[in-house]
Amino acid sequence: MPTKTKVRNMFDSIAGDYDALNHILSLDVDKIWRKKALKQIVDAPAPVQVLDLACGTGDFSIAIAKALTGGHVTGVDLSEGMLAVMREKVDKAELNGMISIEEGDGENLRFPDNTFDRVTIAFGIRNFEDRPKGLREMLRVLKPGGRLVILELSRPENKIIRWFYDLYFLHILPKIGGKVSGDKAAYAYLPASVAAFPGKKEFTATMREAGFRIVTHKAFTLGICRMYTGEK
């Protein structure tokens, strides 16, 4: 698993190009996945307190805040470079009153027990150095009855689809991302980290071992992305 220092430095280095590259390389399909996850977040009675871990440049935090009828979103990320971009976007969206931003470690959260109604993490759980510890922290800060919602990339199970997926992720994406961002290592890390992430059975078992109940998973876009949920 990657070290926190490696992850922080990598995302600091690509923060300025991250949004544009992310949407281009994903063909904007990531926006559809986030919309599906939103339904699992905003269904709690208002006001909803949401913790968005590995919030990056803030796309998901902003979408959540706009969808809430009342409540607050706290975005936490290791990378100050990514958070600097997020602050500009939150200010532009005039959502400073609904979104708090802070640098922090998802494996060592500063929040008291039973603080949040929802905890979310979109495309960041694979970057945790100690995933079981991170999941236990997420459970700890959730209120009883609260829900964890995770979005993460995955390799498709269908062999034919997986062949095309690997062609794009292992060969095309790293070249484009590396050339545009100037950081080839960062975009070589992306497919490697997805390939190293556990399958659905192993990861849902890890969630249950961390203490989550009613653990579910759902595949999107031919298995390229999965949503995992669990309740406290």
Query: Among residues 42, 77, 49, which one has the least CA distance to residue 141?
Result: 49
Per the listing, tokens 């929802």 go with 118
Least confident segment among 88-92, 165-169, 209-213, 221-225: 165-169
Alpha-helical regions (H) of the chain: 4-25, 29-38, 59-67, 80-92, 131-141, 159-167, 173-181, 184-196, 200-210
pLDDT at 27 > cutoff 80: no
- Note the pTM of the prediction, 2 decimals: 0.93
Of these ranges, 21-25, 67-71, 192-196, 217-221, the one predicted with the greatest mean pLDDT is 217-221
CA distance 214 to 231: 6
In the chain the domains, ranked by start, together with CATH numbers, are 4-155+198-231 (3.40.50.150)
Q: How far apart are the two ends of the chain, measured CA to CA in Å? A: 26
Predicted confidence at residue 24, as pLDDT, reads 66
- Per-residue pLDDT of 84-98, as tens digits, reads 999 999 999 999 999
Do the beta carbons of residue 151 and residue 227 sit within 8 Å? Answer: yes
